[in-house]
Structure 1
């Protein structure tokens, strides 16, 4: 599908209206989507056919000391991601400390387990047989 012959002119007019704060067909956001809506052209007209106009739009936005909405969103996302990365780093440090404690506990329990196994396997030097039934008392004067 070939572009309309006045497509570039419509994009430039839409750019002027958005930058002037008087959009007619969009919400006036400083984005390519809003620019395409304002110019009543498909978005790919700016992202594929008229990259120079897209770049010109962003250059004009920056020249006015403003930041495109897409850049604002990305900057906010970067801040959130940095916060998440810091939280993850703290959690990772705690987990590493926990692992060291758990390794010490496992080593201690392994040593105790080995000691108990050695004690169980060792022959007993003294065996005492316990009576299974009590003996009747000896008559007076007799000892067993």
Structure 2
């Protein structure tokens, strides 16, 4: 499908309406999706056929000291991912410490088990029965 002959003009007019704060056919967001809706063209018209107009739109947004909505969303996502990465790093550090403690406990248990088996094999251990408490139950 070939583009309409006035497509570039419609995009430029839509760009001006959005940047002036008077959108007629979109929500006025500073995004390519809103620009395409405002111009009445498919989004790929801006990303594939007219990338120069897409870049011009974002340049005008930045010149006004504003940040495009898509960039704001990406920055927010980067912040969120950095927070998750930091939380993961803390959890990994805790898990490593737990593993070290568990390995130490396993090693100690293995050594104690070996000593007890050696004592049992040599017959040097004596098992003594401890006195038990008399059972106290209901009705006694």
TM > 0.5 = yes
Q: Does 2:126 align with 1:121?
A: no
Counterpart CA distance in 1 for 2:49 and 2:116 is 79
Q: How far off its partner does 1:83 sit?
A: 1.1
Counterpart CA distance in 2 for 1:44 and 1:120 is 81
Query: Which residue is 1:5 aligned to?
Result: 5
Q: Does 2:83 align with 1:96?
A: no
Query: Which residue is 2:134 aligned to?
Result: none
Q: How far off its partner does 1:113 sit?
A: 1.2
Query: Which residue is 1:23 aligned to?
Result: 23
Matches within 5 A, 1:1-144: 1-122=1-122, 124=123
The count of corresponding residues between Structure 1 and Structure 2 is 124
SS in 2 for 1:22: coil
Q: How far off its partner does 1:96 sit?
A: 1.1
Counterpart CA distance in 2 for 1:103 and 1:82 is 31
When Rg is computed on C-alpha atoms for both structures, the one with the higher figure is: 1
Q: Normalised by the size of structure 2, how large is the TM-score? A: 0.85
Q: How far off its partner does 1:90 sit?
A: 1.1
More off after superposition, 87-96 vs 40-49 = 87-96
SS in 1 for 2:67: coil
Unaligned runs of 5+ in 2: 125-140
Question: Residues 38-77 of structure 1, C-alpha deviation per residue, up to 9 Å, x if partnerless?
Answer: 0000000001000000000000000000000000011111
Q: How far off its partner does 1:18 sit?
A: 0.2
Q: How far off its partner does 1:119 sit?
A: 2.1
Counterpart CA distance in 1 for 2:57 and 2:81 is 28
